[in-house]
Amino acid sequence: MSIAKTLTIAGSDSGGGAGIQADIKTFQELHTFGMSVITALTAQNTLGVHGVFPQSLEAIEAQLDAVLSDIGTDAVKTGMLFSAEIISLVASKLKEYEVKNIVVDPVMIAKGGASLLQEEAVRALIEELLPIATVITPNLPEAAKMLGQKEMETLEEMKQAAIDLHKMGPDYIVLKGGHLLDGPAVDLLYDGEMIYELKTERIKTKHTHGTGCTFAAAIAAELAKGHSIKEATEVAKSFITAAISDSLSIGNGIGPTNHAAYRRSTL
């Protein structure tokens, strides 16, 4: 049988809620064939990140070459890239293999506050990865970091940030508004001309570990299947809303979302 292929280039979460584990679960749930390139191992659970162990450039390059030279991919999602050197390598390989549908989730800080991107890597992300991205999916702190400004507090500030981020090179911006304090959960899709609002009721739960990874992975899966960016983002919004609504209270801290919830909701 023929199946769309999706590749995640990200860190491994030993707790299973975020990173490549969340991505592969999402790819599977949305009926694509998932593959992975591991950039770093993390010792992680619901209480936080207890260690980050970056992989060597040689190991990352070997994984990329192995997957892209043989199987190829219809979409790629990048997550935790950790260092400027890793970002440069990934950007170079994506260009070398002429990869399409590049979804960049600019992972910078874990839910518990641990840094997942070195300071000097932010510039590499902006200069090397954003210009080749099909879409980027920052949350408000990540967007503020890339723009060198204070975090947004209103929807109007979010809209201006989406416009400013688009000038950095990506074809599309999906700016996640979960960090806004009041009102519904609003994400913005900006295509360079129009701003679309994706709005749902805010779900009251602390169990949101892996939401950013899962949302971006869902967009990648839908793009891999040939859907438009608007269609992909709408499915991703529905997918993550279901996953949060049915989130899992496991461990002693911030639990993960439920990747099977969307499939069950559509049966």
Q: Is 208 labeled as catalytic in the residue annotation?
A: yes
Cα dihedral 164/165/166/171 (nearest 10): -170
Query: What is the arithmetic mean of pLDDT over 158-177?
Result: 96
Tokens of 135: 């879409």
Q: Is 210 labeled as catalytic in the residue annotation?
A: yes
Tokens of 145: 């970091």
Residue 204 binned pLDDT confidence (cut-offs 50, 70, 90): confident
Cβ(188)–Cβ(196) under 8 Å?
yes
Out of 25, 176, 225, 237, pick the active-site residue. Answer: 176
What is the Cα–Cα distance from 10 to 79, expressed in whole angstroms? Answer: 4
Residue 1 binned pLDDT confidence (cut-offs 50, 70, 90): confident
Determine the pLDDT at residue 191.
Answer: 96
Out of 137, 208, 214, 257, pick the active-site residue. Answer: 208
Out of 17, 212, 214, 255, pick the active-site residue. Answer: 212
Q: Does 111 have pLDDT greater than 80?
A: no
Buried b (16+ CB within 10 A) or exposed e, 93-107: bbeebebebbbbbbb
Q: Is 15 labeled as catalytic in the residue annotation?
A: no
Out of 19, 34, 79, 210, pick the active-site residue. Answer: 210
Cβ(89)–Cβ(20) under 8 Å?
no
Cβ(161)–Cβ(152) under 8 Å?
yes
What is the Cα–Cα distance from 26 to 34, expressed in whole angstroms? Answer: 9
Cα–Cα distances (Å) from 249 to 22, 56, 159, 225, in that order, read: 16, 35, 34, 32
Out of 211, 214, 241, 257, pick the active-site residue. Answer: 211
Out of 26, 73, 177, 213, pick the active-site residue. Answer: 213
Query: What is the arithmetic mean of pLDDT over 43-61?
Result: 95
Residue 58 binned pLDDT confidence (cut-offs 50, 70, 90): very high
Collapsing DSSP to helix, strand or coil, 120 comes out as: coil
Q: Does 238 have pLDDT greater than 70?
A: yes
Q: Is 237 labeled as catalytic in the residue annotation?
A: no
Q: Which residues pair with 139 in a beta bridge?
A: 176
Residue 225 corresponds to which amino acid?
K
Angle, CA of 258, 72 and 259, to the nearest 5°: 5
**Which residue did the predictor score with more confidence, 36 or 118?**
36
Residue 95 binned pLDDT confidence (cut-offs 50, 70, 90): very high
Residue 185: name the closest of 155, 149, 150, 160 by CA: 155
Q: Is 211 labeled as catalytic in the residue annotation?
A: yes
